[in-house]
């Protein structure tokens, strides 16, 4: 349902108090102006600097600068209308303001009028929890973003040429998804300022700007994806499984009766390619990769952590179809499996997350990685949360040979010039990351002696390394034993 229609429904249902959770005050004001025009009533806005102001005329209402003054006015007014209060959320726990708001609301329950509060989030006192309907304002849809593109282009002041096909414009709108309306407009202005032209080359620039915007929030990170599944050695079963779901995000799959894939949990030994798989999936499916670090969600203020998680989910869904990567998920959810000393915060965050994971209908494919299964809450790994749980073991002989080939040739060396059989034999029990580091170390040794990289350099590095399969043998054996009956082997 369009936001304006939802708001009209609330007004006609006699909701006197509506809290709108959003950072976009200006966008909400524009939406309410459209609603007021459709209902044939006036829109008034209030902040603690200007007082109560008529939206169309700009005329202020006398003696309404303070919160108690505007609430007294609303208690006594007979005029139908919509009233947007922008700064009141800061004072809701003041008993005088709480009582004033409840009294004013009583004057609105039987009339074609509503009071709207706007804030990034609401921490309501107990007396207002049943009085205020909190409505999250979804991020802009493609139609709103399209308007933002043309508004931004026209705002520059001189003619801007738009050299895009319909398909390329659709790609641009997808690149803008997940941004607020103002962020989208700023991004478009920034990319067209130099040449006064909006062209297909600007799509990549917009994606880079979106990456910077997401990083500022501290919650999500837009991750560039250069790796493909060809860069992932072995894991034949996992690759086959992914290949069958590659086209499951389009309308043809929906018409066929397919549900959008939920995601997968990758469990395995450290350094064996779990994170590489997440990047490769996004690249292979041509979807944006968004990384969520669970540690960034925690905040010392009551209710703020839950709000941050909801914000991260909302932003991710607005960017869908997309891949959401949660690396080492057990570290972020560790408090959900123990007698937590954080007042139950970890459990509340975990409950919100798995409820979304279970019920989500948006095309967001979640790739979660984990090294320690004992730290994961059992509710996370039951069927229905993820489509499948894969176990990624230490690479076998063929996979190790592929890993040596990939990393040697990536650094400009022909793998055929090396004794790969000797390297594969010497790297028994090594992870992919340990093999890569042996090549890096060998390059340093060869470079310091002004010689060419040789098999002997790499063998020397391998012999000097104690792999995790040796230093953490007991933990790896326990992980394998658990996974043997509960997961699908990736290879």
Closest CA relative to residue 4, chosen from 164, 103, 116, 97: 116
Residues 154, 131 share a domain: no
Residues 183, 37 share a domain: no
Instruction: Give pTM, 2 decimals.
Output: 0.71
- Separation CA 346–CA 360 (nearest Å): 21
- Separation CA 50–CA 45 (nearest Å): 9
How confident is the model at residue 341, as a pLDDT?
Answer: 45
Q: How many domains does the chain have?
A: 4
Residues 158, 66 share a domain: no
Any domain includes 488: no
Residues 348, 248 share a domain: yes
How confident is the model at residue 99, as a pLDDT?
Answer: 94
Q: Is 355 exposed, middle or buried (0-12, 13-18, 19+ CB in 10 A)?
A: exposed
> Assign residue 234 a region: left if phi > 0, alpha if psi is -120 to 50, beta otherwise?
left
Any domain includes 248: yes
Any domain includes 223: no
Final residue before a domain boundary, out of 136, 153, 181: 136
Token pair for 11 = 């007004």
- Separation CA 275–CA 280 (nearest Å): 9
**149 Cβ neighbours under 8 A, 6+ residues apart:** 169, 172, 173, 176, 184, 188, 198
How confident is the model at residue 300, as a pLDDT?
Answer: 57
Any domain includes 127: yes
Any domain includes 222: no
Strand-pairing partners, residue 264, are: 367, 388
Residues 384, 439 share a domain: no
Any domain includes 271: yes
Q: Residues for the chain: how many in total?
A: 491
How confident is the model at residue 229, as a pLDDT?
Answer: 86
Residue 43 φ/ψ, nearest 5 degrees: -110, 130
Residues 176, 120 share a domain: no
Any domain includes 484: no
Reduced to 3 states, what is the DSSP secondary structure of residue 259?
Answer: coil
Residues 33, 129 share a domain: yes
Residues 95, 167 share a domain: no
- Separation CA 120–CA 20 (nearest Å): 8
Residues 295, 432 share a domain: no
Instruction: Specify the DSSP class assigned to residue 23.
Output: S
Per the CB < 8 A criterion, the answer to whether 245 and 317 are in contact is: no
Residues 382, 249 share a domain: yes
**417 Cβ neighbours under 8 A, 6+ residues apart:** none
Tell me the CATH number at 210. Answer: 1.10.8
Final residue before a domain boundary, out of 160, 192, 217: 217
Final residue before a domain boundary, out of 108, 136, 164: 136
Residues 261, 202 share a domain: no
Tell me the CATH number at 306. Answer: 3.40.50.300
**Average pLDDT per run of 10 along the chain, which is 491 residues long?**
84 92 92 94 94 94 94 91 93 93 88 89 87 88 88 80 87 85 90 87 84 73 83 90 86 83 90 89 87 76 73 81 87 58 66 85 90 78 84 93 94 93 94 94 90 92 92 90 88 87
Tell me the CATH number at 445. Answer: 1.10.8.60
- Tell me which residue range forms the domain holding 31: 3-136
Any domain includes 483: no
Residues 269, 333 share a domain: yes
């Amino acid at each position: 349902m369009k936001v304006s229609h939802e708001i009209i429904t609330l007004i006609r249902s006699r909701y006197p108090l509506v809290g709108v959770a959003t950072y976009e005050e200006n966008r909400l004001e524009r939406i309410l102006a459209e609603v007021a025009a459709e209902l044939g009533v006036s829109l008034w806005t209030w902040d603690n600097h200007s007082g109560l102001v008529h939206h169309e005329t700009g005329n202020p209402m006398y003696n309404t600068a303070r919160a108690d003054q505007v609430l007294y006015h609303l208690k006594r007014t007979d005029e139908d209308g919509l009233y947007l209060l922008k700064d009141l959320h800061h004072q809701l726990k003041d008993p005088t303001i709480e009582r004033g708001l409840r009294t004013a609301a009583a004057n609105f329950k039987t009339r074609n009028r509503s009071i709207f509060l706007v804030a990034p989030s609401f921490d309501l006192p107990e007396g207002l929890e049943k009085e205020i309907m909190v409505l999250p304002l979804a991020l802009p849809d493609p139609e709103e973003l399209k308007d933002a593109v043309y508004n931004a282009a026209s705002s520059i002041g001189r003619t801007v040429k738009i050299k895009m096909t319909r398909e390329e414009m659709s790609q641009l709108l997808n690149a803008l998804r997940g941004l607020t309306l103002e962020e989208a407009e700023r991004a478009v202005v920034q990319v067209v300022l130099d040449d006064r032209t909006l062209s297909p080359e600007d799509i990549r620039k917009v994606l880079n700007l979106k990456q910077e915007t997401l990083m500022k929030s501290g919650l999500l990170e837009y991750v560039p994806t250069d790796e493909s599944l060809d860069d992932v050695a072995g894991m034949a079963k996992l690759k086959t499984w992914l290949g069958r779901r590659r086209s499951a995000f389009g309308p043809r799959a929906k018409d066929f009766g397919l549900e959008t894939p939920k995601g997968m949990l990758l469990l395995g030994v450290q350094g064996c390619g779990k994170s590489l798989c997440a990047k490769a999936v996004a690249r292979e499916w041509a979807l944006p990769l968004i990384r969520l670090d669970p540690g960034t969600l925690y905040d010392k203020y009551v209710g703020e952590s839950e709000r941050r998680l909801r914000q991260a989910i909302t932003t991710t869904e607005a960017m869908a179809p997309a891949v959401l990567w949660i690396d080492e998920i057990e570290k972020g959810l560790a408090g959900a499996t123990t007698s937590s000393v954080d007042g139950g915060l970890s459990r509340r965050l975990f409950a919100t997350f798995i409820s979304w994971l279970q019920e989500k209908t948006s095309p967001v494919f979640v790739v979660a990685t984990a090294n320690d299964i004992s730290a994961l809450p059992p509710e996370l790994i039951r069927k229905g949360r993820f489509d499948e749980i894969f176990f990624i073991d230490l690479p076998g002989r063929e996979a190790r040979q592929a890993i040596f080939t990939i990393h040697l040739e990536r650094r400009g060396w022909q793998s055929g010039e090396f004794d790969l059989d000797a390297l594969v034999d010497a790297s028994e029990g090594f992870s992919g990351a340990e093999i890569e580091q042996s090549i890096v170390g060998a390059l340093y040794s060869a470079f310091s002696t002004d010689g060419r990289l040789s098999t002997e350099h790499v063998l020397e590095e391998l012999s000097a390394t104690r792999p995790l399969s040796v230093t953490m043998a007991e933990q790896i054996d326990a992980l394998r034993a658990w996974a043997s009956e509960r997961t699908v082997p990736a290879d």
